[in-house]
């Protein structure tokens, strides 16, 4: 196997997972300097999207091909590892993606080229769980709306949120339903239990009791929850999981929180439920189309502004996440260099 000093690596980072973080993590893992070429892609200042046959990638095939000349290893977060890139880089043998899944890699083409593909599961679980709870609290207690009135408009009108009619809900004794109980959902559950919420879980892949929490069918969970938060992975089965029928099962005045994946939730059905008053609020960090279009109902309807908390996919945005992703990726490169089994490998 190639030695640590001679392995050639491209660190195709971006403005979040900095190339310098990847290089430092590689140096620490390989116990010395290695041949690293750094490339900075534009995300998140430039949005990701579909590139050729892969999704959620930076539009940078040409830049990646140029950087990968003679490279054996690619460490990246948003680099588009398409069939074209793989065809142009015959020496490439390992791709490590600094995220929870390698959606920006053509796995079939990688396998055909004998390229191993690894990823970094769990890198942002804590950050996303914390952000989800923040969104939930912001929606329940009208924090962004009150801030906007006072800080931006100089108005004390937010005091109306202290009236009984407009005051928010508190978490203690509140029935909260978690749709999904993976790395993020389980962390959210622990925090909500500490607040005293009554937490229920729907996850078809979980069997038996989970830390004393009530397991329920999706319909039962919806009927009994004043708040639901989404934590499921996006698959063909979960796309549109929460639509008009499901939202209608929620108690009047319920709140919906989604910091997982936008297409889990039917946004038009959500807007209908908010505009009708069926739901009291929603807090979203992810959307069916990103960036959120300027003419989106969520931002274009004056009737919704008071009922929504919207953030631009920031759930995983913490410095610890970027550092952790670089370390997980570097550890995989270290295993490959030493000829050890890879920990998180798909091909």
Catalytic residue among 123, 226, 231, 313: 313
Decide if 231 is catalytic.
Answer: no
Cα–Cα distances in angstroms (integers) from residue 298 to residues 266, 307, 312, in the given order: 12, 10, 13
What is the residue-wise DSSP string for 234-275?
--TTTTT-B-HHHHHHSPTTEEEEE-S-GGGB-HHHHHHHHH
Decide if 142 is catalytic.
Answer: no
Q: How far apart are CA 169 and CA 140, in angstroms?
A: 5
Q: Which two tokens stand for residue 101?
A: 């899944």
Catalytic residue among 99, 187, 261, 335: 261
Catalytic residue among 8, 15, 290, 297: 290
Helix then strand count (H, E) for the chain reads 13, 14
Contact 127, 321 (CB under 8 A): yes
In this structure, the chain runs to a length of 347
Q: How far apart are CA 155 and CA 150, in angstroms?
A: 5
Decide if 290 is catalytic.
Answer: yes
* Active site positions, annotated: 261, 290, 313
């Amino acid at each position: 196997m190639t030695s640590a000093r001679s392995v050639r690596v491209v660190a195709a980072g971006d403005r979040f997972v900095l190339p310098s973080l990847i290089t430092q993590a590689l140096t620490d893992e390989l116990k010395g300097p290695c041949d690293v070429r750094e490339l900075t892609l534009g995300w998140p200042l430039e949005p990701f999207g579909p590139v050729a046959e892969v999704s959620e990638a930076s539009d940078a095939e040409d830049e990646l091909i140029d950087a990968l000349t003679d490279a054996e290893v690619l460490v990246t977060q948003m680099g588009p590892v398409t069939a074209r890139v793989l065809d142009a880089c015959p020496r490439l043998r390992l791709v490590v993606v600094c995220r929870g899944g390698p959606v920006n890699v053509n796995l079939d083409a990688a396998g055909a080229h004998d390229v191993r593909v690894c990823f970094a599961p769990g890198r942002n679980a804590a950050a996303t769980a914390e952000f989800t709870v923040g969104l939930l609290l912001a929606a329940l207690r009208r924090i962004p709306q009150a801030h906007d009135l006072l800080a931006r408009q100089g108005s004390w009108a937010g005091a109306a949120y202290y009236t009984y009619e407009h005051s928010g809900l508190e978490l203690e004794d509140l029935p909260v339903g978690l749709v999904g109980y993976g790395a993020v959902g389980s962390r959210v559950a622990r925090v909500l239990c500490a607040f005293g919420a009554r937490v229920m879980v729907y996850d078809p892949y979980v069997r038996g009791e989970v830390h004393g929490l009530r397991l329920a069918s999706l319909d039962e969970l919806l009927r009994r929850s004043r708040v639901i938060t989404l934590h499921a992975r996006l698959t063909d089965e979960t796309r549109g999981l929460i639509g008009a029928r499901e939202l209608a099962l929620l108690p009047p005045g319920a709140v919906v929180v989604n910091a997982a994946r936008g297409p889990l939730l039917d946004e038009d059905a959500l807007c209908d439920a908010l505009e009708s008053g069926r739901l009291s609020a929603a807090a979203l960090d992810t959307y069916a189309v990103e960036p959120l279009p300027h003419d989106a109902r969520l931002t274009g309807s004056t009737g919704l502004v008071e009922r929504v908390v919207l953030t631009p996919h920031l759930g995983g945005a913490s410095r610890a996440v970027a550092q952790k992703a670089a370390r997980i990726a570097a550890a995989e490169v270290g295993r490959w260099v030493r000829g050890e089994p890879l920990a998180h490998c798909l091909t």
